Amino acid sequence: MSQTINMRGTTICCVRKDGAVAIGGDGQVTLGDTVIKHGARKVRSIRDGKILVGFAGSTADAMNLFERFESKLDEHGNVLIRAAVGLAKDWRTDRYLRKLEAMMIVADQTHTLIITGNGDVLEPDENVATIGSGGAYAKSAALGMSRHSALSAENVVREAMAIAANICIYTNTSLKVEVLEYGHA
């Protein structure tokens, strides 16, 4: 049985460009059709700035997954792909975790991964990954800017998120952006 996660309530955008990866998220938290909070922090830099994480979905579920992801990093020696696959496997097979409604984007200097509750660990073909209600808008904007502008990864994320916020009612302009610079690829 496949579950479809339809995130309504945030946008997360990750861009890898010119030796840097940036991940940004809006700050809006909604309950139904009401805005509850404008400045939530949905992106994190962890492991001394070596890994970036962004999450969309139910706040409690996302925080639970974030904590479990950190445990998987401990378990797998901070190897991003192994930790992501371990989390996805647990998420898919554990009866409690299967009910969590959230998604994550994780990135280090080499990989950008989308982790879903369906057991997926997806590495996008392009250098852009998005999740959440405004994800398609942010992705379209980020792809265009990444290909056809000299903007940095951080500035592509900021501009793409601003475009998404102008279109998606569940996305606002209170952005938090984290950047990991690793040198030119």
Residues labelled as active-site residues: 10
Distance of CA 151 to CAs 75, 79, 129, 143, 179, Å?
37, 29, 17, 12, 14
Q: Which residues contact 10 (CB under 8 A, 6 or more apart)?
A: 25, 26, 28, 29, 42, 56, 57, 132, 133, 134, 170, 171
Q: Which sign does the torsion angle of CA 32, 37, 39, 41 carry?
A: negative
What would the two tokens of residue 103 be?
Answer: 């998604």
Judge contact between 69 and 83, C-beta under 8 A.
yes
**Separation of alpha carbons 3 and 36, rounded Å:** 27
